[in-house]
Structure 1
């Protein structure tokens, strides 16, 4: 199977204002993933970006608006990667189970190619610091997790039309397990400083799902 190359949909031509906004979000994202949202100050972002305060507040009225933009950006990038992986799998094979297995293999290869491992998950960071955010940010974070459930449940339901499970399971719980393995793999790889750990967990998940379903 050919290795999937993930295209960067955020890398096209942008106007100066858009480039500045993206620069702010990139700096903020790195800082938040390294030390959390509460420990990331607007002042350090302004300094790193080489902006004035008025330049920052032109793009974001306050820190909660920055939080929303960071989360939305992460969700969009995450969705784009998953869309590319699963769309490519559907192009390669017709069988829904083998589509899932192919997609997970391609995803593991993408993750393995990251030079310093996965940078971390904004959704997870926000869960641990939810008191810092307004209701809109908290609701958006919850929506992101539910969207993962919806995505994977639809795939599993498609598989279930052609395959039976070897054990009685709730497919919604299995859908949540897929998200749990991905998120847990990020934490494990960072905690152990083993960048390959996430890709290894994805491949173990692939093996489990292959064993779970039988024709």
Structure 2
């Protein structure tokens, strides 16, 4: 049973690397099978089709991202209980984490699914949509807590500010890859951090 679990994870690892590198459509079952060294029957034992694989990859990716956010912002709250300072620390930790990836962030499966949504069934598209909305709710709750202690110094919609963090990270990954500078994503996050500080920190 353990070997079956390892094979499934290996299929997902190989598929994820290929999808982030060249896209879902260009990633074939044949190349995955060859890389994992299994038969096509072995692939279909674990996944009924490519949409089933995409769903499993997204579920795993979302779980990992949620765990990462939980860890970063829990550590930030341990360092400072004040909601604004905890957010600022969490953003700094996120930037530092991305700086520690030598070749930069490999890419986001949620963004990839958005770019190529016509390739996926309704179930996969809905899972992707919920992931983005869940991240909105996570960061919105943080900003609402900050706003209850610190009156914003600018007319800012907190939902837009929460969405902006996802946009900054995803956009930073694209910018970093396009220019070939792995540090750009972390620099974008630090600029966003400055914006948050400017909006909420007292004069």
**TM-score of Structure 1 vs Structure 2, range by shorter chain:** over 0.9
TM-score (norm 1): 0.92
Q: 1:162 aligns with which of 149, 158, 183?
A: 149
TM-score normalised to the size of structure 2? 0.97
How far apart, CA to CA, are the structure 2 residues paired with 1:22 and 1:196?
30
CA distance in 2, matches of 1:90, 1:175: 18
Match of 1:129 among 116, 139, 156: 116
Residues 20-77 of structure 1: per-residue CA shift (max 9 Å, x gap): 1111111000100011000100000000001111111111011110010111111111
Where do 4+ consecutive residues of structure 1 move more than 6 Å? none
Is 1:26 paired with 2:13? yes
- For 1:1-215, list aligned pairs within 5 A: 15-215=2-202
Distance of 1:17 and 1:143 partners within structure 2: 29
Q: Distance in 2 between matches of 1:20 and 1:115?
A: 28
Name the SS for the 1:120 alignment partner. coil
- How far, CA to CA, are the matches of 2:100 and 2:68 in structure 1? 14
- Corresponding residue pairs, total: 202
- RMSD in angstroms over aligned alpha carbons? 1.0
Note the C-alpha offset of 1:169. Answer: 1.1
Q: Which runs of 5+ in 1 are unaligned?
A: 1-13
- State the Cα distance separating 1:132 from its structure 2 match: 0.7
Task: Report which of the two has the higher share of helix.
Answer: 2
- Describe the SS at the equivalent of 2:149: coil
Q: Distance in 2 between matches of 1:149 and 1:105?
A: 19
Deviation at 1:214, TM superposition (A): 3.0
Which runs of no fewer than 5 residues in structure 2 stay unpaired? Answer: none
Distance in 2 of aligned mates of 1:76 and 1:116:
23
